[in-house]
Amino acid sequence: MKTKTRFALLRRALVRDINFIKALYVVIILAITTVVFFSLVQRYINTGQKVTEIFESKDCILENAVFEVSSTQPEIKQLKEQFLVIAEIKNSYLFMAEKYSAFNYTFSIFLTLFSIISGILGFIILKKGWDNIKNYYLKASFLIAFFCSTLFGVMPSVFSAKENIKNNLTKYYFYSGLQVDIYGLAKDNKGYLKRNTPQSLDSLNLEINAINQKIKENQNLYFDINIDKIPKEVKPF
């Protein structure tokens, strides 16, 4: 009787251990996936910093040219202030575009990877039949791969990644264009300061006010989320 009791206890402990190992397997796979995902995101961001440095070097040249203007005219001072304000605003758009690009890039890689894995495992399972396969790890791996391929396939649409990247970059280039306009006015390319008449200064102030208006009307960041893109029903077969 004691032997049977010990055997039953041992069997229960073994079942608990097996179930724990099975659960641990799923947790480890998901943890590795998460770590690799964010590592790839960070790697893309680090690579993108090189592109950002190119933009910043161009902006630095333009900024130096604007601030080299030694005129004490109040209009020139205002143009310099506008240039700095725009620099801060457009950096926020570049930051958002970089983040969305990094995640969209990683979503695409993981979608491709897990689609291939789920396709291979799905072929094996369909060939043998789900009920005929007793290998828990094969089934678990397929379900994880299918879940991940679905998740990473849906996420770009949910976060409107392509649209947000495009819109934020469009705003970035828009503000870069404004800085070029400011550069032209600071260098007096239109001769407003050279003529130095009430009419010419009024024309310059009108252009400065127009730039202010454009800044006011174009400060919306783009980080749209489209919940409707989440599928209502997903089936592996």
CA distance 170 to 176: 10
Mean pLDDT confidence for 174-183: 94
Residue 11: the pLDDT is 56
Residue 127: the pLDDT is 86
Residue 16: the pLDDT is 65
CA distance 237 to 218: 47
CA distance 159 to 162: 9
Of the candidates 185, 160, 230, the one whose C-alpha atom is nearest the C-alpha of residue 71 is: 185
SS3 label, residue 33: helix
Q: What is the C-alpha R_g of the chain? A: 30
Q: Interior CA angle at 209 toward 207 and 213, to 5°?
A: 115
Q: Is residue 169 within 8 Å of residue 97, measured between CB atoms?
A: yes
CA distance 204 to 192: 6
Measured between alpha carbons, how far apart are the two ends of the chain, in Å? 48
Instruction: List pLDDT tens digits, range 54-66.
Output: 878 888 988 999 9
Residue 230: DSSP 8-state = S
Q: Interior CA angle at 56 toward 164 and 193, to 5°?
A: 105
CA distance 165 to 62: 25
pLDDT band, very low/low/confident/very high, at 3 (cuts 50, 70, 90):
low
% of the chain residues with pLDDT over 90: 51
Residue 129: the pLDDT is 86
Phi/psi at 235 (nearest 5 deg)?
Answer: -125, 130
Residue 15: the pLDDT is 52
Q: Is the pLDDT of residue 13 over 60?
A: no
Instruction: List pLDDT tens digits, range 81-104.
Output: 999 999 999 999 999 999 999 999
Q: Which of 2-6, 54-58, 135-139, 227-231 has the highest mean pLDDT?
A: 135-139
Helix H or strand E segment including 105 = helix 74-128
CA atoms within 13 A on the CB side of 178: 30
The chain-wide mean pLDDT, for the chain, equals 86
Residue 141: the pLDDT is 92
CA distance 178 to 183: 9
- What type of residue sits at position 66? V
Instruction: List pLDDT tens digits, range 131-177.
Output: 888 888 999 999 999 999 999 999 988 888 899 999 999 999 999 99
